[in-house]
């Protein structure tokens, strides 16, 4: 069963810009308000991992900050566990929602264990002493995130990937049904990105956490997320420059073309088959390619990179034909009647030949 733990109704997010920080703020002055996105009715369910995608400047951070209760919404309501978020005290919110931010500044002298233990802040007394229950939750968070081996190390001695896992452990120690993460995979290499994604996925599945993360990793998001929230600059004039929000299951968004549309821009195209984006190379010439299998696929990629439009048309004078089987592949390069066909046994050679021949 899926129950909504975080819900918004007709939420409008944005900024009230005050022209002078010292003067009392004048209400109703129109141009001092910038709405980033409006009419947002979103729902985050327990046990779901949702990825918030969108280009830089589309308002992802504003939405995250508003949902986290750090920034006041312009309009609309937000409900956390059925309660009005705006009426909750910071301490109550801290017991339902934990954050993992991009802020890197963490003191070097703090050990991993001490940092994770800070997650218990909303629950401990005035001196911050941990009860045996607190200790058990902290240790559980460390075990779950696989950071057990460096509990005694200092934060400054950790790699970016280890540090991110520790920050997730800290959020876990806060013991909240909702975890929000701001670009948790930024600055990480691919294995670490995947590991962090898998960890978050596991938390959603096994511990029934509602996980909301903003990310730029479209590939990983499409593979791992239960839901996608896609923010984008609006194309219609009616919305006065505020962002559009598209939500749904990743596969649904790919199949009905909404994802493609959202990222429609010059220079790259969305490949519906692979679910990834490709740089769009402006073709300057046409070349024929015949063959199949991975060799043909990667040859096509190389040719496109060189600026060719790749076709399967025998009438084109310049063409490459692949022959042979795995292990003894060969590329035959035909270039009109002026040159004899040339045979190559590796992809570099044929591309070099093409380059030297010129357009």
When the beta carbons of 99 and 310 are compared against other proteins, the nearer one is: 99
When the beta carbons of 148 and 198 are compared against other proteins, the nearer one is: 148
Residues near other proteins (CB under 8 A) are 21-22, 68, 70, 89-95, 97-99, 101, 103-111, 113-115, 117-119, 121-122, 124, 126-130, 135, 139, 148-149, 151-152, 154, 156, 174
270 contacts 259 by C-beta, under 8 angstroms: yes
* Least distance CB 226 / other proteins (angstroms): 24
Interatomic CA distance for residues 185 and 183, integer angstroms: 5
When the beta carbons of 213 and 350 are compared against other proteins, the nearer one is: 213
When the beta carbons of 19 and 265 are compared against other proteins, the nearer one is: 19
* Least distance CB 61 / other proteins (angstroms): 11
Closest CA to 113 of 128, 135, 90, 85: 135
Interatomic CA distance for residues 93 and 101, integer angstroms: 16
DSSP code at position 238: T
Q: How many CB atoms lie within 10 A of CB 176?
A: 22
When the beta carbons of 53 and 167 are compared against other proteins, the nearer one is: 167
Interatomic CA distance for residues 57 and 7, integer angstroms: 23
* Least distance CB 164 / other proteins (angstroms): 14
229 contacts 247 by C-beta, under 8 angstroms: yes
* Least distance CB 277 / other proteins (angstroms): 31
* Least distance CB 99 / other proteins (angstroms): 4
* Burial class of 109 by CB neighbour count within 10 A (0 to 12, 13 to 18, 19+): exposed
Interatomic CA distance for residues 287 and 296, integer angstroms: 13
60 contacts 54 by C-beta, under 8 angstroms: yes
When the beta carbons of 90 and 294 are compared against other proteins, the nearer one is: 90
When the beta carbons of 152 and 266 are compared against other proteins, the nearer one is: 152
Closest CA to 225 of 192, 209, 248: 248
* Least distance CB 160 / other proteins (angstroms): 13
* Least distance CB 95 / other proteins (angstroms): 7
When the beta carbons of 157 and 189 are compared against other proteins, the nearer one is: 157
* Least distance CB 8 / other proteins (angstroms): 19
- Nearest 5°: CA angle at 106, between 214 and 180? 25
Interatomic CA distance for residues 348 and 89, integer angstroms: 64
Closest CA to 54 of 46, 63, 66, 67: 63
């Amino acid at each position: 069963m899926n129950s909504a733990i975080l819900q918004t109704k007709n939420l409008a997010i944005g900024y009230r810009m005050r022209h002078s920080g010292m003067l009392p703020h004048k209400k109703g002055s129109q141009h001092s308000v910038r709405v980033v996105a409006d009419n947002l009715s979103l729902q985050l369910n327990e046990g779901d991992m949702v990825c918030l995608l969108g280009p830089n400047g589309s308002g992802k951070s504003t939405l995250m900050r508003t949902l986290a209760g750090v920034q006041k919404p312009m309009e609309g309501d937000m409900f956390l566990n059925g309660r009005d978020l705006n009426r909750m005290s910071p301490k109550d919110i801290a017991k339902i929602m934990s954050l993992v931010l991009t802020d890197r500044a963490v003191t070097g002298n703090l050990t991993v264990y001490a940092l994770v233990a800070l997650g218990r802040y909303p629950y401990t007394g005035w001196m911050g002493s941990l009860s045996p229950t607190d200790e058990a939750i902290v240790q559980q968070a460390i075990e779950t995130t696989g950071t057990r081996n460096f509990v005694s190390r200092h934060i400054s001695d950790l790699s970016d990937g280890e540090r991110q896992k520790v920050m997730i452990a800290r959020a876990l120690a806060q013991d909240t049904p909702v975890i929000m993460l701001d670009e948790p995979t930024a600055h990480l290499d691919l294995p670490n990105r995947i590991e962090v994604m898998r960890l978050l996925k596991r938390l959603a599945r096994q511990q029934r956490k509602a996980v909301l993360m903003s990310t730029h990793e479209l590939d990983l998001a499409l593979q791992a997320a239960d839901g996608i929230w896609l923010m984008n600059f609006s194309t219609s004039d009616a919305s006065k420059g505020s962002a559009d929000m598209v939500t749904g299951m990743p596969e649904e968004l790919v199949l009905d073309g909404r994802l493609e549309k959202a990222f429609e821009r010059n220079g790259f195209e969305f490949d519906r088959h692979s679910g990834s984006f490709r740089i769009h190379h402006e073709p300057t010439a046409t070349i024929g390619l015949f063959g199949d299998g991975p060799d043909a696929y990667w040859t096509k990629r190389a040719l496109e990179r060189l600026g060719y439009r790749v076709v399967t048309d025998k009438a084109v004078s310049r063409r490459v034909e692949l022959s042979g089987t795995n292990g003894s592949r060969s590329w035959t390069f035909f270039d009109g009647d002026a040159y004899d066909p040339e045979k190559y046994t590796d992809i570099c050679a044929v591309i070099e030949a093409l380059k030297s021949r010129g357009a």
